[in-house]
Amino acid sequence: MTLVQKITTGWTQEESLVQAIAPNKVLNIGVIGYGYWGPKLVRNFQELANTRVTMVADLDGKRLEELHKAHPTVEVTNDYHQLLASDVDAVVIATPVTTHHPIARECLLHGKHVLIEKPFAHSSVAAQELVDIAEQRGLIAMVGHTFEYNPAVELLKDIVASGELGNVFYAYTSRTNLGIFQKDVNVMWDLAPHDISILLYVLGKDVLNVSAVGGAFVQPGVHDVARLTVNFADRIQAHIHVSWLDPCKVRRVTIVGDKKMVVYDDVEMLEKIKIYDKGVQWPERTESYGEFHLSYRYGNITIPRVGLNEPLKVECAHFADCISQGLRPRSDGAVGVRVVKVLESADISLHDSGRPVPVVL
Amino acid sequence: MTLVQKITTGWTQEESLVQAIAPNKVLNIGVIGYGYWGPKLVRNFQELANTRVTMVADLDGKRLEELHKAHPTVEVTNDYHQLLASDVDAVVIATPVTTHHPIARECLLHGKHVLIEKPFAHSSVAAQELVDIAEQRGLIAMVGHTFEYNPAVELLKDIVASGELGNVFYAYTSRTNLGIFQKDVNVMWDLAPHDISILLYVLGKDVLNVSAVGGAFVQPGVHDVARLTVNFADRIQAHIHVSWLDPCKVRRVTIVGDKKMVVYDDVEMLEKIKIYDKGVQWPERTESYGEFHLSYRYGNITIPRVGLNEPLKVECAHFADCISQGLRPRSDGAVGVRVVKVLESADISLHDSGRPVPVVL
Amino acid sequence: MTLVQKITTGWTQEESLVQAIAPNKVLNIGVIGYGYWGPKLVRNFQELANTRVTMVADLDGKRLEELHKAHPTVEVTNDYHQLLASDVDAVVIATPVTTHHPIARECLLHGKHVLIEKPFAHSSVAAQELVDIAEQRGLIAMVGHTFEYNPAVELLKDIVASGELGNVFYAYTSRTNLGIFQKDVNVMWDLAPHDISILLYVLGKDVLNVSAVGGAFVQPGVHDVARLTVNFADRIQAHIHVSWLDPCKVRRVTIVGDKKMVVYDDVEMLEKIKIYDKGVQWPERTESYGEFHLSYRYGNITIPRVGLNEPLKVECAHFADCISQGLRPRSDGAVGVRVVKVLESADISLHDSGRPVPVVL
Amino acid sequence: MTLVQKITTGWTQEESLVQAIAPNKVLNIGVIGYGYWGPKLVRNFQELANTRVTMVADLDGKRLEELHKAHPTVEVTNDYHQLLASDVDAVVIATPVTTHHPIARECLLHGKHVLIEKPFAHSSVAAQELVDIAEQRGLIAMVGHTFEYNPAVELLKDIVASGELGNVFYAYTSRTNLGIFQKDVNVMWDLAPHDISILLYVLGKDVLNVSAVGGAFVQPGVHDVARLTVNFADRIQAHIHVSWLDPCKVRRVTIVGDKKMVVYDDVEMLEKIKIYDKGVQWPERTESYGEFHLSYRYGNITIPRVGLNEPLKVECAHFADCISQGLRPRSDGAVGVRVVKVLESADISLHDSGRPVPVVL
Higher pLDDT, C298 or A57: A57
pLDDT surpasses 90 at A283: no
Cβ neighbours, 10 Å, residue B157: 17
Average pLDDT, chain A: 91
Question: Does the CB of D297 have a partner CB in chain A at under 8 Å?
Answer: no
| Chain A nearest CA to D292, separation (Å) | 25
Q: Under CATH, domain B148-310+342-358 is a member of which superfamily?
A: Dihydrodipicolinate Reductase; domain 2 (3.30.360.10)
What per-residue confidence (pLDDT) applies to C19?
56
Compute the count of residue pairs across chains A and C with CB atoms less than 8 Å apart: 32
Per-residue pLDDT of chain D (361 residues; tens, 9 = 90+): 333 343 344 444 444 445 556 667 899 999 999 998 999 999 999 999 999 999 999 999 999 999 999 999 999 999 999 999 999 999 999 999 999 999 999 999 999 999 999 999 999 999 999 999 999 999 999 999 999 999 999 999 999 999 999 999 999 999 999 877 777 899 999 999 999 999 999 999 999 999 999 999 998 899 999 999 999 999 999 999 999 999 999 999 999 999 999 999 999 988 999 999 998 876 655 444 444 567 778 899 999 999 989 999 999 999 999 999 999 999 999 999 999 999 999 999 999 999 999 999 8
Q: What is the CATH number of domain B3-145+312-331?
A: 3.40.50.720
Q: CA-nearest residue of chain A to D297?
A: A305
Query: Domain spans of chain D?
Result: 3-146, 148-310+342-358
| Chain D nearest CA to A160, separation (Å) | 18
Q: CA-nearest residue of chain D to B46?
A: D70
CB C168 within 8 A of CB C160: yes
Question: Does the CB of A271 have a partner CB in chain C at under 8 Å?
Answer: no
Question: Does the CB of D308 have a partner CB in chain B at under 8 Å?
Answer: no
What per-residue confidence (pLDDT) applies to C24?
72
Question: Does the CB of B151 have a partner CB in chain C at under 8 Å?
Answer: no
Q: CA-nearest residue of chain A to C67?
A: A47
What per-residue confidence (pLDDT) applies to C8?
42
- CA C266-C270-C272 angle, to 5 degrees, is 35
What per-residue confidence (pLDDT) applies to D39?
93
What per-residue confidence (pLDDT) applies to C164?
97
What per-residue confidence (pLDDT) applies to B293?
62
What per-residue confidence (pLDDT) applies to A284?
58
- Strands lying side by side in the sheet with A51-57: A75-77, A51-57, A27-32, A90-93, A113-117, A141-144
Tell me the chain B residues in contact with residue D49 when contact means C-beta distances shorter than 8 Å: 69
Question: Does the CB of D240 have a partner CB in chain C at under 8 Å?
Answer: no
Q: Which residue in A225, A230, A128, A120 sits closest to A176, CA to CA? A: A225
Tell me the chain D residues in contact with residue B26 when contact means C-beta distances shorter than 8 Å: none
CB A184 within 8 A of CB A119: no
Most D CBs within 10 Å: which of B69, B246, B310, as the mutation test of the D interface? B69
Q: Which residue in B19, B27, B15 sits closest to B318, CA to CA? A: B27
Q: CA-nearest residue of chain C to D292?
A: C183
A278 → closest Cβ in B247, B280, B354: B247
Q: Does domain A150-310+342-358 have CATH number 3.30.360.10?
A: yes
Q: CA-nearest residue of chain B to D45?
A: B70
pLDDT surpasses 80 at B157: yes
Q: CA-nearest residue of chain C to D257?
A: C245
pLDDT surpasses 60 at B139: yes
Lowest mean pLDDT among A290-294, C25-29, C47-51, D241-245: A290-294
Predicted confidence (pLDDT) per residue in C33-57, tens digit: 999 899 999 999 999 999 999 999 9
Neighbours of chain A (3+ CB pairs under 8 A): B, C, D
Tell me the chain A residues in contact with residue D305 when contact means C-beta distances shorter than 8 Å: 298-300
pLDDT band at B125 (very low <50, low <70, confident <90, very high): very high
| pLDDT > 70 in chain A, percent | 90
pLDDT band at A41 (very low <50, low <70, confident <90, very high): very high
Contact assignment for B254 to A263 by CB distance below 8 Å: no
Q: CA-CA distance, B347 to B245, in Å (whole number)?
A: 19
Tell me the mean pLDDT in the region A118-145.
98
Whole-model pTM over 0.80: yes
For A344, the enclosing helix (H) or strand (E) is helix A333-350
D305 → closest Cβ in A300, A303, A304: A300
Q: Does domain C148-309+342-358 have CATH number 3.30.360.10?
A: yes
Name the architecture of domain A3-147+315-328.
Answer: 3-Layer(aba) Sandwich (3.40)
B47 → closest Cβ in D70, D249, D269: D70
Tell me the chain A residues in contact with residue D298 when contact means C-beta distances shorter than 8 Å: 305
Q: CA-CA distance, B329 to B319, in Å (whole number)?
A: 7
Contact assignment for C302 to B298 by CB distance below 8 Å: no
Q: CA-nearest residue of chain B to C276?
A: B303
Predicted confidence (pLDDT) per residue in C334-348, tens digit: 999 999 999 999 999
Q: Kindly give, in sequence order, each residue whose CB lies less than 8 Å from that of residue C285, ignoring residues fewer than 6 positions away.
A: none
Tell me the chain A residues in contact with residue B168 when contact means C-beta distances shorter than 8 Å: none
What per-residue confidence (pLDDT) applies to A9?
45
What per-residue confidence (pLDDT) applies to D293?
61
CATH of D3-146, one of 3.30.230.10, 1.10.340.30, 3.40.50.720, 3.40.50.280: 3.40.50.720
Q: Kindly give, in sequence order, each residue whose CB lies less than 8 Å from that of residue A19, ignoring residues fewer than 6 positions away.
A: A138, A326
- CA B168-B169-B171 angle, to 5 degrees, is 85
What per-residue confidence (pLDDT) applies to B286?
47
pLDDT band at C283 (very low <50, low <70, confident <90, very high): low
What per-residue confidence (pLDDT) applies to B182?
76
Q: Distance from CA of residue A95 to its chain's centroid?
A: 16
Strand partners, B144: B117
Q: CA-CA distance, D74 to D86, in Å (whole number)?
A: 13
Predicted confidence (pLDDT) per residue in A240-250, tens digit: 999 999 999 99
Question: Does the CB of C66 have a partner CB in chain A at under 8 Å?
Answer: yes
Question: Does the CB of A248 have a partner CB in chain C at under 8 Å?
Answer: no
pLDDT surpasses 70 at A64: yes
Q: Kindly give, in sequence order, each residue whose CB lies less than 8 Å from that of residue D6, ignoring residues fewer than 6 positions away.
A: none
Contact assignment for A280 to B355 by CB distance below 8 Å: no
Higher pLDDT, B237 or B270: B237
pLDDT surpasses 70 at C321: yes
Question: Does the CB of C217 have a partner CB in chain B at under 8 Å?
Answer: no
Question: Does the CB of C269 have a partner CB in chain A at under 8 Å?
Answer: yes
Identify the three-state secondary structure at position D223.
coil
Interface predicted TM-score (ipTM) of this complex, two decimals: 0.91
Neighbours of chain D (3+ CB pairs under 8 A): A, B, C
pLDDT surpasses 60 at A292: no
| Chain A nearest CA to B233, separation (Å) | 14
CB C248 within 8 A of CB C177: yes
Q: Kindly give, in sequence order, each residue whose CB lies less than 8 Å from that of residue A277, ignoring residues fewer than 6 positions away.
A: A260, A297, A298, A299, A300, A301, A302
Q: What is the CATH number of domain C3-147+311-331?
A: 3.40.50.720
| Chain D nearest CA to A26, separation (Å) | 35
Tell me the chain C residues in contact with residue A73 when contact means C-beta distances shorter than 8 Å: 72-73
Contact assignment for C70 to A270 by CB distance below 8 Å: no
| Cα–Cα distances in angstroms (integers) from residue B83 to residues B94, B97, D359, in the given order | 14, 19, 63
